[in-house]
Structure 1
Amino acid sequence: PLVQKTVDKLILASQVLPQMLGYPEEKTYLFLFQNNMELRPAGGFIGTYGILKLKNGGILSFVTDDVYNLDKEYDSKVPTPQPFQDYNKRFEWYFRDSNWSPDFPTAAEKAQWFYRLEGGPENVEGVIAITPTFIERILALTGPISVPDYPYEFTSENFSDQLEFHVEQNFYKFEEKAQRKNIIGDFGDILIAHALSLPKDKLLTLFNIVVEGFSEKHAFVYLNDSEMQKVISQSDWDGRVKAAARDYFLYVDCNLASLKSDPYVKRTIDYSVSWDGKNNPIARLTMTYNHTGEFNWRTTRYRTYARVYAPEGSALVKITGNESDVAVSEELGKTVFGFFKVTEPQTEESVILEYKLPMRLAKQPYSLYAQKQAGTVRHQLNVNIDWNGRTAEWKTDLNEDREFQIN
């Protein structure tokens, strides 16, 4: 099935891949390294960005930089989204926080807007983004990589931790703070060279890793050319928030000043639907945060502004476990419930939402689209549905989007 999915996706994407890869004209892309150890709505904190230039299927240049080097040169007057103001006391919006929307096309357009606003000199034709998880998968295929002038060997098991140690704790032995992320560009050049020189018998595995990276939302593409972007969307490479005719949810965390705690916060989502005394369908969503970390240079208490995207027209009945008022809004064709939540290290906390689903769903056969947040790693997922007297139960994970239905 994976091989077939890979072939199907590549056949579809082949309509735009030559152009995308710079044939016959050179292409320039904004590159985002979204660190999912510090989870943000569209994948992870943008600590590093770059400019990638492609020509005739090859890389002309790939230059990366610390995002703060661009941000610090600009005096922003753009107000941040309200949760940054309320819970981080951060009032000026910069490029590094541009991926506030969980919809990657929206986030990619905002990233380009900030790049231009802050004086980025390149005229880019789209955005390519990845998380460290995607790199770890490639490293598992290429084998360990060392970067000249640095004492590290990067493997699929240690890449994220080793890189974080360098840029936060050890960089001063090698360079000034402004250059502390130079190692990422050097590493990227070597990784790309290794990947492109893999033997032919490993190429299908590489293609599988790339396709899985898109389906598991650790790699994303957004092209400014609307016709090419349609094909990217049909290939499911765009990380968009999906439309769903029936039941749907997307749970989105935004790490607010919680350091790189996310790998240590294990999450379980329990989702159920039942009926109240007035014959209304009631959804109950429980998110359990199990914080296995400690207080140290890498991890701290987990502070998240969470948003639950539900079918448009859903109405909140009650919520427990939250630490702020609930902000209700409409976005991307969904009703959104937003709230603040803190989980201390070595504790387990839950937030429980109950909301009435739109009555338009009540007379239809039941189906659920459970969408995975970009950058997350295998949340546990338990689904229990009672729909007009028919029941079903599933125990799985959110390694990728999941669909459920009662026939």
Structure 2
Amino acid sequence: MIPRYGESLRNGPALLDFTTTVTAEASGVLAQAEPLFVGTGNSGDRARAVFVDRHEALDRHLGRLDDVRDAAERLANVRWAGPARRAATLLPELTEDLSRVTSVRGTAKRMAVGLDPLLGYGGPRTYIVLGQNEQEIRPTGGFLGTMGVVKVVDGKIASFEYASAYDFDPKPDKFRAPPSDFALGNGVRYWYVRDANWSPSFPESAAAVQRFFREDRAVQADGVVAVDTEMLRLLLQALGPMTVQGVDVPLTAENFYAALEEEIFGEETEIAAKKRSILERVLQQSIERVQAADADKVPALVAVLRQGVAGRHLQLFGNDERVQAVSEGFGADGMMRPREGRDFVAVVDANVSYSKIAAAISRETTYLRRADGRVDVFVSWRNDLTQFAGQRYKRLGQSALLYQPERNAFVKVQGVYGNMFRIFLPQGSTVEGVEGFTPIYRIEQGMTVLVGRVEVHDGEQKTVAITYRPPGAPSGVDVWKQGGQERDRLRVLAAVGRQQETLFDGPFLQDTPIAFSPLQPTSVR
């Protein structure tokens, strides 16, 4: 009996202490977080009651949970027998939950410091709000078709102004030279705020947006928030139907695109005023509903906010480093972060055909790690416009213009998708081969960047490929997700002998980290 149960008997007291501690401290966390999940009132006030007023007690409970993580891992490896075996079956799941405590504790600490300046407690905060139109993809997620200014005081909206991006053009006009890629792709000499998000790094694009607002509107903002239509749909999913003046039916997550797509993406000459007024109401009501969300809506709201942040449908930049720390903690900062000892790839698209066509465009990125450590990256874009005939909004794929730099002229080409793309690799990567485009090389965001252009006509598929050797011997790859990509797919493969192992194959919904197996030595003959 002793040999069979000896290990369980020796570790039984530790298991009892562990379960007692986890139960007590988890209950303590829930008790401190109670204002978020019980009752009504402004959600900002409830969040402040938890993360600011109760921070010390919350951190104390989280800290004790963090301290028992090593014990959980050790106990999970014990060969339990007898009655303890049933209780020990929960250890792997508990170990996984406890592995997230460090991150949660760090986020709570950032909220304790950053929530007040974020929501205007102790002084008003002014944010520029950007509406990103993902149907015309741009580096941070979409063309800046609408924008405005919101002032927040004590967690509530004090004022809100929202309009078409064209209403923010300077009067009289001002000359500002656009980024070279933007000028080459779009054939323009002037740069306006609606095109300010040319950098895929949201902090960099947010800084450009703020510069335009300072120079053109004398607006001194405290930060920039960007949302796309998918984020608004997700909020409807969490908070339920919304009645909006000017829309014939209540908006739901299911009918959102069908009810609003024509107004949002239709012909500007016909619907510009309606577009501005409807989107202003939808956005303002969405913000107000988040603020007033009852406790029973909080779990669903947190879930869709996490989903929106992961897909870069919601991004935030704050000039105050405390606010920016909160954004980084939630992953809403939209930055590229290559990690030491790992490969990194980001494919960033930018529509340069002056058309709303993303619904008809699918993209697939394939990353293949060869047995010798070299990497092939293939990117394919397919234009399925014909399949959408009579569906979605009338403007889908219409009125496309392509700039031809060799002629310095624009050509109207129905249904074409013109894309000025960039492929980001770690600095120090050695590019050995390129197919399907003639790259422009540069260093951007501290990385090696290949800039190219493709034109994908209706019914066509275009593929580009690069072969490179990343620096060092990376332990894995991080594939960065561009916001606004509606039909995006990722495959990550690794060559194992003459076979290929599939490490990932599915919809590309968020940043995707992949671990590699060590490379096998190559025999020399």
Aligned ranges 1:243-254 → 2 under 5 Å: 243-245=338-340, 246-254=342-350
For the residue of structure 2 that corresponds to 1:146, the secondary structure is: coil
Percentage of matched positions with identical amino acids: 25
What is the TM-score of this pair, normalised by structure 1? 0.88
Q: Are 1:2 and 1:208, in contact at CA under 8 Å, matched by a contact in 2?
A: no
Specify every segment of 5 or more residues in structure 1 that has no aligned partner in the other structure, as ranges. Answer: none
Superposed CA RMSD in Å reads 2.8
CA distance in 2, matches of 1:82, 1:58: 41
2:260 alignment partner in structure 1: 163
Describe how 1:17-166 pairs up with structure 2 within 5 A: 17-71=115-169, 73-117=171-215, 119-151=216-248, 153-160=250-257, 162-166=259-263
- Give the corresponding residue for 2:511: 401
Distance 1:155 1:31 in 2: 23
Q: How does 1:147-296 map to 2 (within 5 A)?
A: 147-151=244-248, 153-160=250-257, 162-167=259-264, 169=266, 177=272, 180-245=275-340, 246-274=342-370, 281-294=373-386
Q: Displacement, 1:390? A: 11
Letter in 2 for 1:56: D
Matched, 1:341 2:454: yes
Aligned to 1:302: 417
Contact 1:9 1:235 in 2 (8 A): no
On the 8 A contact 1:39/1:375 being kept in 2, the answer is yes
AA at the equivalent of 2:234 = R
Secondary structure in structure 1 of the residue aligned to 2:207: helix
The residue identity in structure 1 corresponding to 2:484 is G
Structure label with greater radius of gyration: 2
Change (3 A) 1:184 1:382: same
Number of corresponding residues = 394
- Deviation at residue 158 of structure 1 after TM alignment: 4.0
User: SS where residue 128 of structure 1 aligns?
Assistant: strand
Counterpart contact for 2:358–2:486, Cα < 8 Å: no
**Structure 1 residue 377, shift from structure 2 partner:** 3.6
Cα 1:166–1:64 change in 2 (3 A) is same
- In structure 2, the gaps of 5 or more residues are 1-95, 398-414, 518-525
Question: What code does the residue aligned with 2:135 have?
Answer: M
Alpha-carbon distance change, 390 to 222 in structure 1, aligned in 2, over 3 angstroms: farther
- The Cα shift of 1:259 comes to 1.5
Q: 1:316 maps to what in 2?
A: 431
* Greater strand share, structure number: 1
Give the drift of 1:385: 2.1
CA contact (8 A) 1:84 1:91 kept: no
For residues 26 and 14 of structure 1, the distance between their equivalents in structure 2, rounded to whole angstroms, comes to 18
